[in-house]
Structure 1
Amino acid sequence: MAIDSYANRFVCDLHAYEPGKPISETARELGLDPSQIVKVASNENPLGPSPLAKEAMRAALEEAHIYPDGGGWKLRSAIAGRLDVDLANVVLGNGSNEIIELLCHSFLNPRAELIAAEHAFVVYKLMATLFGAKYVEVPDPGFVHDLDAMADAITPDTRLVFIANPNNPTGTMVGQEALDRFMARVPDHVVVAFDEAYHEFLDDAPDVLKYVREGRNVAVLRTCSKIHGLAALRIGYGICSKGVAEILQKARQPFNANAIAQAGALAALEDGEHVEKTRAINREGLAFYEKAFAERGLEYVPSVANFILVNVRGGDRVFREMLQQGVIVRAMSSYKLPDWVRISMGTPAQNLRCLQVLDSVLPVAAV
């Protein structure tokens, strides 16, 4: 009998997450020069890591033979100080994705439910499936979370509600009033996870940390992968009410945040200049694409993050044909958006190249 007959059925039935296609794989498969490939598929920082972070990581390599601080005291203290919370509120993760997994480890089982928006980050559904829980998907008219409908969906079996704000892959955001109205309806048996991976790109961000300070059952997820340019290091964190944080600390692996990543993140948090440069190039990129899509009559979703969703009337085809020319975008079929692709903001030169290649593969009527 095949070994999968003995494995957990909900694991075997899982469709594994497919990240954006790597540059190295594209170059190898298509015989292209890696330096000529433009990857705008994974919402990465086109400016690269913070210079301060690179310097700190090089120094940390000298002690790579020593186990990291398993409690992450320096980094957690810095985060707590910046955000005006206690050290006990901060949990480090191997990317903020690990905080998602720790929440699911801690609160999901085959009798539990997880609620998320229809076009939210696909990992929420993968995690619910992995733990055998019921995944409740709430429609999001106009690609914006309908928090009133999500509150209506809560039952005695609900354990987790995920609110991605800004949302990936749509780039949309819900405001303070809707969040406060939603939180007023959330019962004590539910943990609300605010996934704020793109928080630093916002000009006027809603305040969800106040729920942490109030002691509500919440977890606010943030990452150093996006605006800080440390995606390869896998370092993120959760700011949680103390009760939730204590549970997640028990669920995480020892040394889950490596010493090089901790050093890089600590330095990156202090590099305000790099953050502002990234925000500026991101604003420029969004304006460039919105103008270009409007001129071409292409439907798109106005974004407040570092990517934009555009209807190209056949996302998988456009992805494949752009890939042949060395430009990597993200097809959206896995998000039930088969006509759309998501494009990350690059440098001005990368954005221009992406648009030129996109033009070359669109139907004639669309350009």
Structure 2
Amino acid sequence: MIRQRIITLSWLTLCMLFLPGCWDYQKINDRSQIIAVGVEPTSDNQKMFTYTLQVPVFQQPGQGGTAPGSGGEEPTSNYHNYVISALSFDEAVSKAQTQSDKGLYLGNIQLILYSTKLSHAQFRRITGEFMRNPRFEKLSWVEFTSQPPSEVLAAKTDLTPADSFDRILSSSVKQHGYTVRTHLWEFWRDFWTIGRQPYGGEIQKTPTGFRVDGLVVPVQHNHCMELTPEETLYFNMLCRRVQSISFNVIDGAESFGVGEVKTKSNLSVSMNRGRGRVLRAQIRINAVILRDESDGLVPLNHKDIKRYERVMSDQIKVQVDQIIKKFQHNETDPFGFGETLVTQNPRMAEYVSSRWPHDFAHATTNIQVEVRLKRKGALR
């Protein structure tokens, strides 16, 4: 029995010697994880960019002092921003490394914040650098701002700014009708997809913190096109999905409120003889009436609900058509009508690649909106 125990212990000891990870262990305190990257152009050199690299600062309970690299001017914070001017992202990381006694790690980047002042070519160049870097997190969120990214990444938040932005953009918050969520790999894919332009959401710094809403599309002829939060809602109804959102529908001098809105859409392109291409969209919407025009004083009947459905359908149809025309004016298709045309007929790829911007700008629209409303009832 004793001999058997000795043999068992010897075998366990031998197995422990070959367990992986024992000899290359690195303390977490030796690493500094970059969680957000801001990019903006420099004023004196078009080939150089200003990068803002945000890293969290972990301090022991009761530890005082100042944030690393602050030079004693900033109070203790749970994050630190390295603002570096460089020709490339890798060069910026190398320069930031000279200011940190920890190894900078790229595997947990949550947010990429682009300045809307960058040109279309600069967006493509920088995004290409991120995608080619094997250490860069490809699931990072891509957002835009008209303010300096270095200022937005210094917004007042309970968590680090990158964590706060990630919490809003993540799936834990289901209401995303007024903004869009785009991952880095999706943004890069749309740069090379025939018949579709890339886009992302928008972040703005406010006196009390920040705001995440709106949509931004880099275009060829100028820096960017921007949609308001309300326009973004109808953009999402057209080419994405909207869930768990509430809003008011205008009915002349009155209005009624809907909630629990869920949408689905289907895009297609057809040919109309003598009129060129026709952009077709079928949008199906299910919602619940939260507030009627009488504020619950008069019970709604089946005829009233059908009228509400027509009013809501007409309003959405008008708004969606206006958004399409706004992008047609700039010969930019972020909806993916051109991509749909190639999917329907792969032989159209060369045509869409060369002529689609012009034909998209002169195409007519055919928007069909089907609304189904329910009412939970009223308390008396």
TM over 0.5: no
| TM-score normalised to structure 2 length | 0.24
When Rg is computed on C-alpha atoms for both structures, the one with the higher figure is 2
The answer to which structure has the higher helix fraction is: 1
The answer to which structure has the higher strand fraction is: 2
